[in-house]
């Protein structure tokens, strides 16, 4: 499920945003200032942060700059909210590491649309949208993996961890991912598991994809890791 952190000191705005995001199926938590936001992000990395510029104490701009300066949080997708309509401030916000920017008062509809667009760009595995690679279709909404074989849709029975692994690989196809990267992105970055665990789940994933003839889509790249390809053996 997509986790969104809303950092906003005005409870009415924070609630309005949270209610609408939850309605869209997102899991939402709220932080009233930079210290709370930092504590929450330290505990669990969200998929998206909606960050108000004007906060008591450390500003949203300072907070996004500090996140951008740390390896763990440097690519956290951030949408900045602000009452400042001034063009220079907007540029400072984007310089400070925000991926997108909305000026208050903003339309909730627009915030939702921009949230989805940013997630699609930066963290597509966090969305519930169906993905297709090499004829293989994964639908997070129905939790199904299917492929048309001999004119009929066939389903591959994929376990929960293999499903998350496959979802990540399918939303980032053709790229090689190291075992450490896969552990970070699929298992969570605070989880300490041996890298060999990845090999075990890759093996299970290939076995699960065998009945729909898609096991070869999951390629081993020697000395580097794994990748999912649309055309195997190229
Ligand atoms: Ca504020």
Task: Indicate the average pLDDT of the chain.
Answer: 91
Ligand 1 midpoint to CA 52 (Å): 6
Ligand 1 midpoint to CA 123 (Å): 26
pLDDT value, residue 94: 73
Ligand 1 midpoint to CA 198 (Å): 42
Calculate Rg over the CA atoms of the chain: 20
Q: How far is CA 62 from CA 32, 74, 88, 93, 169, in A?
A: 15, 13, 16, 10, 33
- Say yes or no: do domains 3-127 and 131-228 share a fold: no
Confidence of residue 13 (pLDDT cuts 50, 70, 90): very high
- Sheet with 78-82: list strands edge to edge: 27-31, 3-7, 48-52, 78-82, 100-103
Residue 5 CA to residue 19 CA, distance in Å, equals 12
Six-digit token pair at 56?
Answer: 């008591």
131-228 is classed CATH 1.10.10.10: yes
Q: pLDDT tens for residues 40-69?
A: 999 888 999 999 998 999 999 999 999 999
DSSP 97: T
Ligand 1 midpoint to CA 10 (Å): 6
3-127 is classed CATH 3.40.50.300: no
In total, the chain counts a number of residues equal to 234
- Assess whether pLDDT exceeds 90 at residue 23: yes
| Domain definitions of the chain by residue range | 3-127, 131-228
* pTM: predicted TM-score of the whole model, two decimal places: 0.78
Confidence of residue 20 (pLDDT cuts 50, 70, 90): very high
* Cβ contact 51:40 at 8 Å: no
Which residues lie below 8 Å from residue 144, measured CB to CB, with a gap of 6+? 137, 138, 155
pLDDT value, residue 85: 66
Which residues lie below 8 Å from residue 221, measured CB to CB, with a gap of 6+? 176, 227
Six-digit token pair at 121?
Answer: 């760009």
Residue 217 CA to residue 234 CA, distance in Å, equals 11
**Least confident among 62-71, 78-87, 111-120, 192-201:** 78-87
Ligand 1 midpoint to CA 109 (Å): 20
Ligand 1 midpoint to CA 5 (Å): 15
Q: pLDDT tens for residues 149-187?
A: 889 999 999 999 999 999 999 999 999 999 999 998 898
Ligand 1 midpoint to CA 51 (Å): 9
Ligand 1 midpoint to CA 87 (Å): 19
Ligand 1 midpoint to CA 147 (Å): 48
Residue 44 CA to residue 41 CA, distance in Å, equals 5
């Amino acid at each position: 499920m997509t986790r969104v952190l809303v950092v906003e000191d005005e409870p009415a705005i924070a609630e309005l945003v949270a209610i609408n995001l939850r309605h869209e199926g997102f899991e939402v938590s709220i932080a009233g200032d930079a210290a709370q936001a930092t504590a929450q992000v330290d505990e669990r990395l969200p998929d998206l942060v909606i960050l108000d510029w004007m906060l008591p104490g450390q500003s949203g701009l300072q907070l996004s700059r500090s996140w951008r300066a740390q390896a763990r949080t440097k690519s956290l997708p951030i949408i900045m909210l602000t009452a400042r309509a001034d063009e220079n401030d907007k540029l400072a916000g984007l310089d400070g590491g925000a991926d997108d920017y909305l000026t208050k008062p903003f339309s909730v509809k627009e915030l939702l649309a921009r949230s989805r667009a940013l997630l699609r760009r930066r963290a597509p595995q966090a969305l519930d949208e169906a993905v297709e690679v090499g004829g293989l279709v994964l639908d997070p909404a129905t939790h199904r993996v299917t492929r048309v074989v001999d004119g009929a849709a066939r389903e591959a029975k994929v376990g929960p961890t293999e499903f998350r692994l496959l979802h990540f690989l399918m939303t980032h196809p053709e790229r090689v991912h190291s075992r450490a990267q896969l552990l970070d992105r699929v298992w969570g970055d605070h989880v300490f598991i041996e890298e060999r665990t990845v090999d075990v789940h890759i093996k299970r994933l290939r076995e699960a994809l065998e009945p729909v003839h898609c096991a070869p889509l999951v390629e081993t790249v020697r000395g580097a890791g794994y990748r999912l390809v649309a055309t195997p053996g190229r």
